[in-house]
Structure 1
Amino acid sequence: MTTTTPRGIRNNNPGNIDRTAERWQGMAADQSGDPRFVVFSEPKWGLRALAKVLLSYQRKHGLRTPAAIIGRWAPPSENNTGAYARQVAAALGVGVDDQIDLQNPDTLARIVPAIVAHENGQQPYSADLIAQAVRLALE
C-alpha cells in the first residue's frame, strides 16, 4: 500500500481507533507504525474493533441514535459531527435522531461501512468481510 492509501486502511484500522492501554484482539505486534492509532494485523480485526466500540456505546452509554453515536465517535472538536451523523443516518435509511439497535447484525453491518467510508474517503471492504467482523464483534 502506498502513502496515498488512507491511514485507516494502511493500519487495518478503518475506524481510526485511537491507541490506548487497551489490548485489542488482532492488534499487530508492532505498533510503531503510527503514533496515534492502533495498527491491526488484518482488516477484519480493525472492523471488529470498530463494531465493538459501537456496541459499547449502546450497551454501556445508552447511545441509540446516529447523532448520539457519531457525537461520541467523532467529537465536534475534530470533526463536522453533524454532517458525519447525517451521512451515517442516510446510509442506514433513518433520521439522525431515530433509534437504532446495533445488536441487530444487519444494522451493525450497515453502520460499519458508513463509518469506514467517512473516516477514509472510501470503503474497500467486501460485505462478506464486514459480516465476518460483525459476527466476531457480537460473539
Structure 2
Amino acid sequence: MVNIKPPRGIRNNNPGNIRWGDDWKGLLPDKQRTDKSFCQFSTPEYGIRAMIIILRNYQKKHGINTISGIIHRWAPTSENDTQAYIDSVSQEVGVAPDQRIDVSDSRILMKLLQAIIRHENGSQPYSFDVFVRAIDLAR
C-alpha cells in the first residue's frame, strides 16, 4: 500500500502557504515547528483565518480588488506561474481577472479562498463548516 503524504499546505494547516513573518493566532509553538519557510497552524481554521485577514488587508490597506491584483501579490512571478494561477482562480471564482471584487462579500470570499487553496494544494479538502469557523475567527 502506498502512503501518499498530503500537500505541504494541508499538512501545515496552512492551505494558503503563508510564509513565516507575522505572529498569527493559532500558530504552533516554536518547539513543534518543523517547516522553516511556511507557517504551521494548530488547525486549518486558523490557517484560513490568516488568509482571510491577508485578503481583507489587500483590499482595505492596498486597494487591491481584482483577482489579478490579489494573485500578483499572493504568488509573485519570481516564485510562481502567476498568470496560470490568476487564470485558474478567475475561472473558479467566475469573474474576469481584472473585474473588481469585494472580499467583504462572504460569497466572493468563500469562492476565492477555495480557489486559492485548490491551486496551492492541488485539492480543496475542507468542508463548508471549516470556512464558517474560519470566518468567525477572523471577526
Question: TM-score, normalising length from structure 1?
Answer: 0.93
2-structure distance, mates of 1:3, 1:38: 22
Output one character per residue of 1:50-96: Cα deviation in whole Å (capped at 9) or x when no partner: 11111111111100100000000000011111111111111111000
**Structure 1: unaligned runs, 5 residues or longer:** none
Give distance in 2, aligned partners of 1:76 and 1:3. 29
Match of 1:89 in 2: 90
Q: Which residue of 1 aligns with 2:25?
A: 25
How many positions carry a matched residue from both structures?
136
- Distance in 2, matches of 1:131 and 1:108, equals 11
Q: 2: CA distance between counterparts of 1:81 and 1:9?
A: 21
Write the mapping of 1:46-65 to structure 2, written as runs, cut at 5 A.
Answer: 46-65=47-66
* Amino acid in structure 2 at the alignment position of 1:80: D
User: Aligned residue for 1:134?
Assistant: 135
**TM-score scaled by length of structure 2:** 0.93
Corresponding residue of 1:74: 75
**Pairwise CA RMSD of aligned residues?**
1.3
Question: How big is the shift at 1:135?
Answer: 3.0
Confirm or deny: 8 A CA contact 1:109 1:134 kept in the other structure. no
Matched, 1:35 2:36: yes
Q: Counterparts of 1:4-23 in structure 2 under 5 Å?
A: 4-20=5-21, 22-23=22-23
Percent of pairs with identical residues: 47
Q: Secondary structure at the match of 2:27?
A: coil
**Aligned partner letter, 2:24:** W
Consecutive unaligned residues of structure 2, counting only runs of 5 or more, are none
Off by >3 Å, runs of 4+ in structure 1: none
* Partners of 1:109 and 1:131 within 8 A in 2: no
Within-5 A mapping of 1:101-116? 101-116=102-117
